[in-house]
Chain A
Amino acid sequence: MNIDSAAIERTVHAAVTRTKHEAGPLLEILHAVQNELGCVPAAAVTLIADSLNLSRAEVHGVVSFYHHFREQPAGSCVVKLCRAEACQAMNGDALASFATRHLGVEFGATRADGAVTLENVYCLGNCACAPSMTINGQLYGRANPKLLEELVSAVENA
């Protein structure tokens, strides 16, 4: 998937302008870019580096440090499963194996058809209602294979 370079320029410019009076604005700019474009493409890294008088390596170093930032667009349905202890204690690992089987994709990957991305997440703060997951940013507790199946197919059919 290619993102239009004019859109990248516009987005970076807007984010840099909006945060120019703030100290240490890089993370905020990266959030703004990813919220708008779905990822932080390489072309954006160059533009951000130029605007902040940083090297490309410095900006890339920040993008790659944080699990949240992605350099490639995600699938149209992003499933994040909590893999931390409280969810493990409530059969989270079984739910995770079901997810890879049912969705046909490994953790940390996007399915070849671009429809589904499956990711690990470590704690959603929903530990008393474990296991937890998010689907396109929406949080679900007391998750189970049936719920996962229903919610993903609802997104796919939407």
Chain B
Amino acid sequence: MSSGAAVTVYIPGDSSAISIGAHGVASQLELECRQRGRALRIIRNGSRGLYWLEPLLEVMTPAGRIAYGPVTKSDVASLIDAGMLEGAPHALCLGNIAEHPWLRSQQRLTGARLGVIDPTDIDDYVAHGGYAALSTALTMPPADIVRIVTDSGLRGRGGAAFPTGIKWQTVHDQQAAQKYIACNADEGDSGTFSDRMIMEGDPFALIEGMTIAGLAVGATQGYIYLRVEYPHAARALARALGIARERGYLGPDIRESGRSFDIAIRIGAGAYICGEETSMLESLEGRRGEVRVRPPLPAIKGLFGQPTVVNNVITLATVPVILARGAQFYRDFGVGKSRGTIPLQLAGNVKRGGLIERAFGLTVNELVYDYGGGSASGRPVRTVQIGGPLGAYLPESEFDTPLEYEALTAKNALLGHGGVVVFDDTVDMAHMARYALEFCAIESCGKCTPCRIGSTRGVELMDRLIAGRSGPSGEQRAELGLLDELCDTMLAGSLCGLGGMTPFPVRSAFRHFPEDFR
């Protein structure tokens, strides 16, 4: 028999938290409480993104949600003995999680509900501001919705940073019997996981954003193209879609408005290139994910030849907060042409990795040292790669660069999807340059020659270069000259960003760390 009022404990059901033991902690807690006759209610929330503290457990108390972490299964008994269920102190106690400096200094707009709500409970979503934007959107002329998104300055968060409102306007202006919203959830860049966190931790935000996009451009069908590496997100989305349908937030008559929109999930099959929008459309149509030649733009002739909005998960999940709080509110965050906030993902060899959502303009230094606490290994940080496998490496001397689109472009770098991977001083940059080319060779769709052949020739070249290090300098210079020419060819001659951007990591590695190539 359980006694007393049930204590509510939050334990993330996020796949990263599970990968380091969250399920074990949850079942241990249940067992211990049963044995002690304590009534318990466990809510599997999303992760707040303080991954070095996961599994992070929160106890609901009159003084707020008191957090403990990182908790292992074997800590559970001692935590309960110390009075965790009443929020009592313990070596693992982090205090009120909302007051945690790592979180409190952030500006969570897109990720405001991450780790806060129960992602399986649509009422919890609504209680935290969810679906307020959709209610407004249902009363607005479509062109007004598009205008708000345009005025907010929102740019595509998948990596290309194209103004979302302009894309929507193009689709809005097309005359077609059928239009589509295609959500790109093929988050393949190493060092990124914000899409996954939203899909697992706040899936209704994505569903609401897609529904609003549908109303704005006149699309009635949406697809989420989700990578096969994210089975946990697939389950979370499928569950959320079912609930949204049941509650009338999706379907033929959304909230009795007479408007129709529905969403289907399509699972990818392990191809990085399918994160490129035209390749993704090919894959959605059931074909090889080979890139399409543009024009025509997907906004004019996209999925099944119809006008299609292709947006990343974060872009779409940001739409509700823009509509709910206004274009001006959102654009007041950020700097220059980078408006709003960006969910940065800090990963790799870093002490405190996770999700940091801030207005654009935080410097790499602030991210890596203030939030990240330096390397996990304790060795000096040597470089970061920003923006995934096609992003440039930045040396420590450039860590004062603000994380925003234009400042990074000026450094021959890019922000991409906002992933930042930290490396300590043991990294071999010639090896990383080789890896960039190898990755391109593995993932090339094969449609254009600079990417298909160039990447393989590049790997061979790097192999010779690495084998010849500390050999005669004349030969190394000749190989490096060849590498430079190859980069030019790939940059100028590739059909899409895979071949066209592989030179970024390769060249930046050489430019900033030439000593690793000699």
- What residues make up the interface of A, taking CB atoms closer than 8 Å to B? 23-28, 30-31, 61-62, 65-69, 82, 84-90, 121-130, 132, 137, 139-142
Q: Are B349 and A89 in contact (CB under 8 A)?
A: yes
CB distance from B359 to the nearest CB of A (A): 21
B192 interface contact, C-beta 8 A: yes
A66–B283 CA distance with the chains assembled, in angstroms: 10
B101 interface contact, C-beta 8 A: no
- What residues make up the interface of B, taking CB atoms closer than 8 Å to A? 15-16, 18-20, 49, 51-52, 54, 187-193, 195-196, 228-232, 266-272, 283-290, 304, 345-350, 353-354, 376, 385, 389, 419, 421-424, 427, 432, 435, 439, 442-443, 445
Q: Are A89 and B422 in contact (CB under 8 A)?
A: yes
Q: Are B376 and A66 in contact (CB under 8 A)?
A: no
Of the listed residues A30, A67, A130, the one surrounded by the most CB atoms of chain B closer than 10 A to its CB is: A130
CB distance from B115 to the nearest CB of A (A): 14
Q: Considering only CB atoms, which chain B residue lies closest to A140 in the complex?
A: B19
Q: Are B348 and A125 in contact (CB under 8 A)?
A: no
Q: Are B190 and A126 in contact (CB under 8 A)?
A: no
Known: A128-B345, A128-B346. A86 touches B16 (CB 8 A): no
Q: Are B304 and A90 in contact (CB under 8 A)?
A: no
Q: Which of B230, B269, B376, B424 contacts A68 (CB 8 A)?
A: B269
Known: A125-B230, A128-B52, A128-B345. A66 touches B266 (CB 8 A): no
Q: Are B443 and A62 in contact (CB under 8 A)?
A: no
Q: Which chain A residues border B15 with CB–CB below 8 Å? A: 125-126, 139
Q: Are A129 and B421 in contact (CB under 8 A)?
A: no
A88–B439 CA distance with the chains assembled, in angstroms: 13
Known: A85-B191, A128-B353, A129-B16. A69 touches B347 (CB 8 A): no
Of the listed residues A25, A67, A69, the one surrounded by the most CB atoms of chain B closer than 10 A to its CB is: A67
Q: Which chain B residues border A132 with CB–CB below 8 Å? A: 19
CB distance from A153 to the nearest CB of B (A): 18
Other A-B pairs beyond A121-B270, A123-B187, A139-B16, 7, CB < 8 Å = A24-B286, A24-B287, A69-B269, A125-B187, A127-B345, A127-B421, A128-B345
What would be 30 A-B contacts, judged by CB atoms less than 8 Å apart?
A: A23-B304, A26-B287, A27-B267, A27-B268, A27-B269, A28-B267, A31-B267, A66-B270, A67-B270, A68-B268, A68-B269, A68-B271, A84-B190, A84-B191, A85-B389, A85-B421, A87-B190, A89-B348, A90-B376, A122-B442, A125-B192, A125-B230, A127-B345, A127-B347, A127-B353, A127-B421, A128-B16, A128-B354, A129-B54, A137-B231
Q: Which chain B residues border A67 with CB–CB below 8 Å? A: 269-271
Q: Are A123 and B190 in contact (CB under 8 A)?
A: yes
